[in-house]
Amino acid sequence: MTSVYQTHDHHHCISEALQEARTLCQRSGARLTHLREKVLELVWQSHRPIGAYDILAELAKQEERVAQPPTVYRALDFLMEQGLIHRLSSLNAFIGCPHPGKKHNGCFLICQNCRVTQEIEHQAINQSIASCATDQGFKITDAAIELTGLCSNCQEAQE
Amino acid sequence: MTSVYQTHDHHHCISEALQEARTLCQRSGARLTHLREKVLELVWQSHRPIGAYDILAELAKQEERVAQPPTVYRALDFLMEQGLIHRLSSLNAFIGCPHPGKKHNGCFLICQNCRVTQEIEHQAINQSIASCATDQGFKITDAAIELTGLCSNCQEAQE
DNA sequence: CGCGCTTTAGTTATAATATAACATCTTTGA
DNA sequence: TCAAAGATGTTATATTATAACTAAAGCGCG
Ligand SMILES: [Zn+2]
Ligand SMILES: [Zn+2]
Ligand SMILES: [Zn+2]
Ligand SMILES: [Zn+2]
């Protein structure tokens, strides 16, 4: 089995993500400013989660003005509010959402070797979690499901 | 519906957790030193996750010597290795494991109002996650499932 | 346009969480 | 009793995140 992201045109991922972000923001009246779009682009520079300070470092390379942490965190907060990116709390890092625009609880498969991270929508997981919450009389507002391990690629490589 | 932890003898929880820790460590040859046991006791002071620096502050109150961060983090690392506590990455905090001694992927229900956190073993969740991983050819080594929301108690209180 | 209001970004400082590196003490077992 | 391993102490610093205030940009309205 090979990874979904082993061979693909990643420029396509980026441009699609940016285009969809523009569309969604226009629709909702949110202002996708230059800075915010730039940060989104940097988050999408790979399928690996990226830390706020890594984004800051990239911004320093690519932009005129040298940004400070609050600038980056505010852009990230905006992008999270718009559902364009997710924060992975087990890594203190951020990753682009491949299907923004609809509410969802992603389940993340994080490879500890290559760090490539895949967001999955899995019905059975969502259902079992919902029923677990119901059993306990618990009302979920946010679900963080972060699975760390080895992706299929990296398993093969280790054989 | 009322919370599991609404009315109970919490001294019993603490002493049971400490006793079980002693037994498990003796069995495995791990050294549950005074410091480590003290930190475990502090983690168990409630059913709410506690941060490393809160533990540090408690230690400062209760012990002769004033400990430094590495001291606390090392004790926490030990307790995690022994499976006696879990770290909740969405809170940067730690909580005692109610059923240590056997490998398990806990699922945590974290109340955002009262902060009481319950660890659940849920077969359907474990199964759906295992099948999700299988589908993707992903080999899980660690699963963090942290569900934030309102416990039954706090829902009642808000009505 | 020109003025005020709101939103966004810049700036400075600091909080909160976590670890590196090395020194010292304690336990253990030969 | 002594050497090795393990645990803790100590100092410094890395990493992640936010508070608080200032300045600039965008927007609506007369
Ligand atoms: Zn791609
Ligand atoms: Zn998503
Ligand atoms: Zn209790
Ligand atoms: Zn547990």
Domain-located, residue B122 = yes
**How many interface pairs between A and B have CB atoms less than 8 angstroms apart?**
130
Domain boundary among A77, A96, A115: A96
Residue type, B115: R
Confidence (pTM): 0.94
Residue A50 shares a structural domain with residue A126:
no
Tokens (6 digits) for A93? 């890092």
Residue A57 shares a structural domain with residue A128:
no
Residue B74 shares a structural domain with residue B111:
no
Dist. CA A111–CA B13, nearest whole Å:
37
Q: Could you give the C-alpha distances from A124 to A102, A130, B34, B48, B141, in angstroms and in order?
A: 19, 10, 45, 29, 20
| Domain range enclosing A128 | 107-157
Q: pLDDT tens for residues A86-136?
A: 999 999 999 999 999 888 888 999 999 999 999 999 999 999 999 999 999
Residue A112 shares a structural domain with residue A140:
yes
Number of domains present in the structure of chain A: 2
Domain boundary among A51, A76, A96: A96
State the pLDDT at residue B2. 57
Domain-located, residue A90 = yes
Query: Nearest Cα to A133, choosing from B126, B108, B100?
Result: B108
Tell me what the pLDDT averaged over chain B comes to.
Answer: 94
Question: Looking at beta carbons, which residues of chain A come within 8 Å of B1?
Answer: 137
Q: Which of B90, B136, B146 sits opposite A118 (nearest CB)?
A: B136
Residue A31 shares a structural domain with residue A56:
yes
Domain-located, residue A72 = yes
Is the CB of A36 less than 7 A from some atom of nucleic acid strand C?
yes
State the pLDDT at residue A7. 84
Ligand nearest to the CA of B4: 3
Query: Nearest Cα to A154, choosing from B140, B103, B82, B26?
Result: B140
Domain-located, residue B2 = no
CB contact under 8 A, B144 and A146: yes
Ligand nearest to the CA of A106: 2
Residue type, A32: L
State the pLDDT at residue B109. 98
Domain boundary among A59, A76, A96: A96
**Chain A contact present for B90, CB below 8 A:** yes
Total Cβ atoms within 10 A of residue B39: 29
